[in-house]
């Protein structure tokens, strides 16, 4: 899992042979499956392989994409999978594993070693599916995670008594539904970026997360990056990018 720049730098430094490097670059830029074009250069370009968004994918497409990516990359990672999809893929790819809470469907242990530190926190227990999607995404791509759950603002002492854990992280993912105020409070306490994830949890006028999204977009606190409603994956991805930057010269 290396970007093209890193590969070239390693070649230059001599830490990678020309032959090894060539393997990366002789890949076709995408694999044509007819109904899909799998982006095989994505790992080279971004440092992350292509990830599968499972929801609503027709069954036969899903299975062939999982098989193809696993063959090519030796690992495969997807989100929003149903239990039925897990069972279908398992028939063709016995290495596959499924987590019912986060709905992540993956094969392989992901990027090793796990480095740096990202704290993930959520406001209530109903936010756990989303926060776990974030946490497990970041872990799969090589990030050390610290979980701080159920620290919503209606009992703010639960959050304040964990401030030290938030302060130690390279960045914090803060997940909240209903009014979505948690990320703003966290951002007021720490120095590093906060990634805010609205969830669709709540009563009627929450509009399935829109209210929480607006709260996070409008917060008066500084240093907040907002992603889409229930998009734990996006938060985990962004946190991994920031964590890698923070750790790149330390490892």
Residues 116-175 that bind a second copy (CB under 8 A): 123-126, 128, 149-158, 161, 167, 170-171
Is the CB of 70 or the CB of 199 nearer to a second copy? Answer: 199
> Quick one: tokens of 232?
């734990």
Single residue of 16, 21, 27, 46 touching a second copy by CB under 8 A: 46
Single residue of 17, 41, 77, 84 touching a second copy by CB under 8 A: 41
Q: Is 15 in the site for a second copy (CB under 8 A)?
A: no
Sheet with 104-107: list strands edge to edge: 52-53, 76-79, 104-107, 97-99
Strand 194-198 to strand 104-107: parallel, antiparallel, or no bridges (unpaired)? unpaired
> Quick one: tokens of 84?
């039925």
Taking the C-alpha atoms of residue 187 and residue 165, their distance in angstroms, rounded to an integer, is 14
Q: Which stretch binds a second copy (CB under 8 A): 8-16, 17-25, 83-91, 223-231?
A: 223-231
**Least CB distance to a second copy at residue 14 (A):** 22
Q: Of 49-88, which residues contact a second copy (CB under 8 A)? A: 50-51, 53, 55-58, 61, 65
Taking the C-alpha atoms of residue 196 and residue 175, their distance in angstroms, rounded to an integer, is 6
Is the CB of 57 or the CB of 107 nearer to a second copy? Answer: 57
Is the CB of 11 or the CB of 190 nearer to a second copy? Answer: 190
Which residues, 6 or more positions from 165, have their beta carbon under 8 angstroms from its beta carbon?
119, 146, 148
Is the CB of 105 or the CB of 227 nearer to a second copy? Answer: 227
Taking the C-alpha atoms of residue 78 and residue 92, their distance in angstroms, rounded to an integer, is 16
Q: Is 17 in the site for a second copy (CB under 8 A)?
A: no
């Amino acid at each position: 899992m290396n970007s093209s720049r890193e590969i070239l730098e390693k070649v230059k430094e001599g830490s990678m042979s020309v032959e090894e490097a060539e393997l990366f670059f002789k890949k076709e830029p995408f694999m044509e499956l007819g109904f899909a074009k799998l982006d095989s250069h994505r790992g080279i370009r971004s440092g992350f392989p292509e990830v599968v968004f499972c929801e609503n994918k027709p069954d036969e497409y899903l299975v062939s994409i999982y098989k193809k990516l696993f063959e090519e990359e030796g690992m495969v990672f997807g989100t929003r999978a149903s239990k039925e999809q897990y069972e279908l893929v398992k028939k063709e790819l016995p290495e596959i594993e499924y987590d019912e809470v986060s709905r992540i469907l993956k094969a392989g242990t992901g990027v090793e070693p796990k480095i740096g530190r990202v704290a993930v926190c959520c406001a209530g227990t109903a936010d756990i599916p989303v926060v776990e999607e974030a946490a497990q995404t970041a872990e799969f791509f090589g990030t050390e995670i610290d979980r701080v759950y159920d620290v919503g603002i209606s009992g703010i002492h639960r959050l304040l008594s964990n401030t030290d854990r938030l302060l130690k992280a390279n960045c914090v993912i803060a997940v909240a539904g209903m009014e979505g105020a948690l990320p703003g409070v966290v951002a007021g306490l720490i120095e590093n970026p906060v990634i805010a994830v609205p969830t669709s949890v709540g009563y009627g006028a929450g509009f399935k997360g829109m209210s929480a999204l607006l709260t996070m977009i409008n917060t008066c606190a500084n240093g907040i990056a907002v992603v889409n409603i229930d998009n734990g994956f996006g938060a985990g991805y962004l946190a991994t990018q920031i964590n890698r930057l923070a750790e790149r010269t330390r490892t």
